[in-house]
Amino acid sequence: MEPSIGRNYYLEICANSVESAQAAQLGGASRIELCQQLEVGGVTPSAGQIVMARELLTIGVHVLIRPRAGDFCYSEMEFEEIRKDVEFCRSVGCDGVVIGVLLPDSRVDVERTRMLVELAGPMTVTFHRAFDRSSDPLRALEAIISSGCQRLLTSGQQNNAIEGVGLLKDLVDAAGSRLEIMPGAGVTPENLVEILRVSGARSIHSSAKVDKQIAGGQIPAGWIPTWVSSKEKVRTMADLLKSL
């Protein structure tokens, strides 16, 4: 379901639509993280989008479970919504879910994270960039590992992964074989190789996005870009991984 590239590298594409998900597969990605509303960092996609992606794709489908934009401290009602979304993804045969739950002091909410990991089984659970809000990254790493997550998506607590590559290396070293560290945020064909070389990571995450322009017309004032993943960008990154 999730083919490796080259010498066991993995390319995850953050796909914000079924169209983007198909582009990721055609470009040679190993898996997708399916979401909506990239402009706010991504939220949970619709049930229809999840089902369509699962039906159309043969690569891994991992779904972002985030009920709203903003912080990662959730009310009881929001957490119940998260639980139901995890159950739905499991019921339709998704390969994984992507979660992130923090306490008000920015520590990882181990109790709730562990509950979601148990609920998700046998799906893979990735802890997302809520990690980048934590004040003690190595302590947060250990909390995520103890919660049972299999993967951590992080920019190394910087605006993008190339700026955070030093911490990314420390996290890869500290996690060892216990957890997969996956750099993400601002990953492009121009910096992908450097991020992997310095950090030692084997997976990398990118939206590979382009603006889907209005066909043949002038862009009006206040136009909000429509982002889609580019098959060509994905292919370029996959080819780079094959060369490593």
Structure tokens at 133: 């809000």
Predicted confidence (pLDDT) per residue in 35-71, tens digit:
999 989 999 999 999 999 999 999 999 999 999 999 9
Strands 124-127 and 227-229: unpaired
Q: What confidence tens digit (pLDDT) does each residue in 204-224 have?
A: 999 999 987 655 566 667 777
Q: Write the pLDDT tens digit of every residue in 113-133.
A: 999 999 999 999 999 999 999
User: Average pLDDT for residues 97-101, to the nearest whole number?
Assistant: 98
Residue 240: per-residue pLDDT:
97
Averaged pLDDT for residues 67-93: 98
Contact 65, 44 (CB under 8 A): yes
Within 10 angstroms of residue 19's Cβ, the number of other Cβ atoms is 12
Domains of the chain are 10-125+186-209+227-242 (3.20.20.380)
Surface-to-core class of residue 236, CB atoms within 10 Å of its CB (0-12 exposed, 13-18 middle, 19+ buried):
middle
Q: Across-strand partners of 5?
A: 9
Q: What is the pLDDT of residues 162-205, one digit of tens each?
A: 999 999 999 999 999 999 999 999 999 999 999 999 999 999 99
Give pLDDT, residue 214. Answer: 55
Is the model's pLDDT at 144 over the cut of 80? yes
CA distance 176 to 61: 25
pLDDT at residue 115, rounded to an integer = 98
Of the CA atoms within 13 Å of residue 58, those in its CB half-sphere come to 4
Cβ atoms of residues 95 and 123 within 8 Å: yes
Q: How confident is the model at residue 92 (pLDDT cuts 50, 70, 90)?
A: very high
